[in-house]
Structure 1
Amino acid sequence: MEPAFFRGDLLLLTNDQADPIRTGDITVFKIDGRDIPIVHRVIKVHEKTPQDTKFLTKGDNNQVHVQVDDRGLYAPGQMWLHRSDVVGRTKGILPYVGMVTILMNDYPKLKYAVLGLLGLFVIIHREQ
């Protein structure tokens, strides 16, 4: 979703079922068969009833001449996303806060070093 969001940004999400999804909303959704959620902007909404809403998404950094929407990312045979696919909609952002988690996953030894330093700090500074 660059340039709106970058790797390591922490997104603040809401998932109010009463609040309808509209064109332009930035949604986080999960696709069957994929472990990682996807963050993309809603480009088209098809609403028969408030309970039966379908929509298409597209990443901001995807080139229009290459891909008009995200149907290539959806599960095989899936042409639209449903409300049940949505994890949440972005309401805010905390830049770079998620880098801590990324670094801990990319470098597992760093995780143990930080835990060790925290443990040492507690032992040294505990009340006598």
Structure 2
Amino acid sequence: MTTQDELNTLIADIARDINGFIGASVVDLESGMPLASSSVRPDFDLDVASAYNSEIVKNKMRTIEALGLDATFEDMLLTLDTQLHLLKMITPEMFIYLAADRQATNLALLRSAVNRHVAALNA
């Protein structure tokens, strides 16, 4: 079982590694509630973002099932004109949601940092 301190450290480490970090939350998939979160912008509501993103993840999992795919949901990138948003599964019941400024980072750096830190958490 992952502790609260480990989740807070995960987010802090990712924030430190990603230029343009806006915010991140570790989200309970079932409830949509953040288990840990951090944002550098007070107007960026991670509670709302976590809830809506949990619905995106659940819908994608239902789509995979409906199509009869023998596949596991790993991650999803949402590209906005000014931001990158990444949804990455940590466990089957928990994912990380991350938002970053698109001008300050790129997809490769974003995914690399998140994958590295999630792997360390799961080790």
TM-score by length of 1: 0.26
Q: Which structure shows the higher helix fraction?
A: 2
Question: Higher relative contact order at CA 8 Å, sep ≥6: structure 1 or structure 2?
Answer: 1
Larger Rg: 1
TM-score by length of 2: 0.26
